[in-house]
Amino acid sequence: MSLRQLKKEKTARAILTAAAARFTADGIDAARMEEIAAEAEVSVGTLYNYFGSKQSLLIALFEAEVGEMLEAGGAAVAGDMDPLDAVHHLFTAYTDIMVATNPHLLQEVLRFSLAGGEAVQQLARLDEQLMVQLTGVLSAHQEAGRLPKSVAIDDAVFVLYAVLITELLVYLSLDEFTSTDLRRSIARRVELVFNGINP
């Protein structure tokens, strides 16, 4: 990688770090691009050259988080696990990263996803990356004979991912629903799904 590319990556990271801080402190609506630029120690023009809007910044922040989740998920799943343990380890890797993220930032992502428009499509593409990883895990177990051939992998992925997302929504909505509650609830409901698809 050239020095120019390294400098660009360093600048982008500084901008995203500043954006995360401002979005968390002020909310995305109240956060100002000028303040983000100042905190990142770049000009406003440079900020807009990298990210054209606050929405672009938010998508980029979530994209970075999804990248971390994919990396952690790949490292968490060993080939000799049974399917239930594999999904449990995968979802635990995902939730560890989500829990470590400021909930206010995740709430902003959720709000944008409900607003419609291009943001929904961009966020959906990021969701698809996680679903593809889950599909790969289940497909490998099916090919190895640890899941029945009768199981429709796409349907199983949809149901399991719905468990993950629904529990995350509860976690973001209820202050009394702790990270421990989140992990336990996901594990319990994933096991319920497996009791149905792999009795």
Name all domains of the chain by residue range, CATH numbers in brackets.
1-52 (1.10.10.60), 59-197 (1.10.357)
Whole-prediction pTM: 0.86
- Does residue 73 register a pLDDT over 90? yes
Of 66, 77, 39, 36, which is closest to residue 131 (Cα–Cα)? 66
Tokens, residue 21? 């801080």
Contact between 135 and 154 (Cβ < 8 Å): yes
Phi then psi dihedrals of residue 2, to 5 deg: -75, 165
What is the tens place of the pLDDT at every residue in 165-181?
999 999 989 989 999 99
What is the tens place of the pLDDT at every residue in 14-72?
999 999 999 888 888 899 999 999 999 999 999 999 999 988 998 999 899 999 999 99
- Does residue 199 register a pLDDT over 70? no
What number of other Cβ atoms are within 10 A of residue 5's Cβ?
9
Which amino acid makes up residue 164?
A: L
Which amino acid makes up residue 191?
A: E
pLDDT of amino acid 5: 84
19's CB contacts (< 8 A; 6+ apart) are 31, 36, 40, 51, 54, 57, 58, 61
